Amino acid sequence: MLIWLGDDYITQVVKELEQGLIRQDAGSQVVEVECLGDPRFETAFRRKGDNPNVGVATRMNVEFDIRVQVIDSQFRCWNLYLTAQYLATSLDDPPNTKIKGNFQLERDEPA
């Protein structure tokens, strides 16, 4: 369901996590990423043709909870509990498809 993030969407999500953490703490390193449950999807469709039962996806939002174990620049180990969100728009128009990702920190604790 996340193929619009790329063929290897798991690597893409981890890469974005790492980039965000490094922007905040250049010496940080991701040690482990764990998905904590099923993703939550919201999809918008538009009708295709005259058949009300046939449509094409135009927008998709997905959220999922993750735990990220990180070693910071001071060599302390943390568990970060995040909600990841990705929103894809214009899915019915691939040249204009836009994808926006966001990570919301819910809580952190020493590992």
Burial of 70 by CB count in 10 Å (0-12 exposed, 13-18 middle, 19+ buried)? buried
pLDDT in tens, 26-76: 999 999 999 999 999 999 999 888 888 889 999 999 999 999 999 999 999
Please report, rounded to a whole number, the percentage of residues in the chain having pLDDT higher than 90: 82
The parent domain of residue 29 ranges over 3-110
What is the model's pTM? 0.87
**Total domains present in the chain:** 1
